[in-house]
Chain A
Amino acid sequence: MKNENLYNYILGIADNNLILGQRLGELCGHGPSLETDIACTNISLDLLGQVRSYYQYASKLKGEETTEDSIAFLRKEREYVNVLLVEQPNTDFAYTIVRQFLFDIYHNLFLEELQKSHDITLTAIAKKSIKEANYHKRFSSDWVRRLGDGTPESNAKIQEAIDNLWTYTDELFHQTEADKAMVKEGIGVDVTLLKSKYYEIVNEVLTEATITVPDTKWFQKGGKNGIHTEHMGYLLNDMQFMQRTYPNMEW
């Protein structure tokens, strides 16, 4: 494929949205209140809408029989390149919110830069997505503050979620081969440059939320190279169920 690096680069962006959108979709109808239920579904819808734009673009690059759905549903686990953070389960509402928050801060910084890409399709997707991502950031940051500085119970739950999910944050700033190639061409975002701003914003919100910022040097990685946590196989099992059980059909 001529544009293999670009293709892989797009998947590197969009797989995060797909897997996070899928996780949020699990919660629809089970939220702590109608309002939060609607909001989480909304975020899922936004992310999946963005996924469709990215994959449609990627499928054109790949040509042949590739479609947005073959990219979404017909890869093997090792071929998904989302970060480990987004595949973490909905242990409780604290984990859902913290996972969202840790992703949203990154997502906004990332889209801000992607708007300047030399690739006009990516620029257009970034411009549309950042409006949505900004709303997501407001929602998840507000809930981190609310639950962090709510009751002792909610504070403990948010603290636990932060302590356990923190280990997945560093991977957001790792570069793949495709990333490096695309940065060189002025198409991709140099994520290494986003890192200090990211932790600055995250720490600020956590401090307001009366949450202790974890002090660790140990981080997990692997998602960007297709090596996932044990949760991923089950998530894909569900997501790919129809396509695997009834191959080659239109729905």
Chain B
Amino acid sequence: MSEEQIKSLEADFDARIVRDEKIEPKDWMPEKYRKTHIRQISQHAHSEIVGMLPEGNWITRAPSLRRKVALLAKVQDEAGHGLYLYSACETLGISRDELYEQLHSRKAKYSSIFNYPTVTWADMGAIGWLVDGAAIINQVPLCSTSYGPYARAMVRVCKEESFHQRQGFEIMHKLCNGTPEQKEMAQDALNRWWWPSLMMLGPTDAESVHTEQSMKWKLKRKTNDELRQQFIDQTVPQADILGLKIPDADLKWNEETGHYDFGEIQWDEFWQVVKGHGPCNKERLNARKKAWERGAWVRDAAMAHAEKQSNKKIGKVV
């Protein structure tokens, strides 16, 4: 294809995006669009799969049958999200095995929040309330992103996430209306998950390398700092309802801006975790690799069996 032809295709493509048309797998797309989408969608899928681990840590110890069932269902939903997101990603011409390989070799990233340990039951509440809360803020705009398969997957993901967030809040609510020991457990969880949840919305706009291009492709509708402010403004009143204190001495309502002012985020910690040195980075990745390696014989056997079955069918036909 000549340079001119490519330019004309690109111009058409950009115009479609401006008109809010969906780009579908078989449509022409710039190579950079395809790569960026593989990166973002797979990162999102990996986050769902790695995100199963911190909560999975409490399934066997959930405090009641009702909570055990709800937690199992929630973690299963995350597996389901991983499944549709990997499928959406595969439409861009990459296989699930290749995507796993990228995760296992640390070439692909996942959300850093899952590198923190879940040390008490209250963490199940805090993750639902805060982490899923922040995820929703990040993800709702993606329901109208330009790439069709991703946008459609996100519609379903967001519905389930909002259910998870309510479930998390309800766990916190129960703790906050329980014994002093339970309330303390809830406060401790908030203290540990608050700042990582703010970091989860990404580096400040000045540090964010992908923002500009992603805004153009509608992979992003608001900047990280805008999303963070929205999360804080939404969450502070919820903490008030719970009777919990947000662990930020500088947090206060600003009449002029109509937003909460908040303290400085420790970005050193963020980068430490992103670069692989958080409290559980090694454990999370090792758990995923171990599951994959231990499952190799199962997957091989399933393939071998399917092949035998199809040979039998061919044999019958002949």
Chain A residues proximal to chain B, CB less than 8 Å: 22, 25-26, 28-38, 41-42, 44-45, 48-49, 51-52, 55, 68-69, 72-73, 92-93, 145-147, 149-151, 153-154, 157, 238-239, 241-243, 246, 249-251
Contacts and interface: CB of A to CB of B under 8 A. Distances in A.
B64 A32 contact: no
Which applies to chain B's interface (DSSP): helix, strand, loop or mixed?
helix
A144 to B, nearest CB: 11
B302 A146 contact: yes
Closest 8 CB pairs of A and B: A32-B295, A150-B301, A154-B301, A242-B63, A29-B52, A29-B56, A251-B63, A32-B298
Contacts of A239: 60-61
A243 B63 contact: yes
Interface stretch (B32-40, B73-81, B201-209): B73-81
A249 B301 CA distance: 47
B63 A41 contact: no
A139 to B, nearest CB: 13
Given A28-B76, A243-B63, A249-B178, A36 B53 contact: no
Nearest to B82: A34
A22 B304 CA distance: 31
Nearest to B125: A251
Contacts of B171: 251
Contacts of B314: none
Which applies to chain A's interface (DSSP): helix, strand, loop or mixed?
helix
Contacts of A33: 295, 298-299
Interface residues of B, number: 47
Contacts of B64: 69, 73, 251
Given A32-B295, A251-B67, A38 B83 contact: yes
B300 A154 contact: yes
B187 to A, nearest CB: 16
Given A44-B72, A48-B72, A150-B300, 8 more contacts: A28-B52, A32-B296, A34-B83, A153-B301, A154-B300, A238-B61, A251-B171, A251-B175
Contacts, number: 136
Contact of B79 (A37, A68, A249): A37
B83 A157 contact: no
Interface of B: 49, 52-53, 56, 59-69, 72-73, 75-76, 79-80, 82-83, 86, 121, 171, 174-175, 178-179, 181-182, 287, 290-291, 294-302, 304-305, 308
B155 to A, nearest CB: 20
Given A45-B73, A150-B304, A29 B53 contact: yes
A41 B174 contact: no
A38 B272 CA distance: 33
B182 A249 contact: yes
A102 B174 CA distance: 40
Contacts of A31: 291, 295
B76 A41 contact: yes
A246 B83 CA distance: 37
A93 B82 CA distance: 21
A48 B61 CA distance: 14
A34 to B, nearest CB: 5
Contacts of B61: 238-239, 241-242
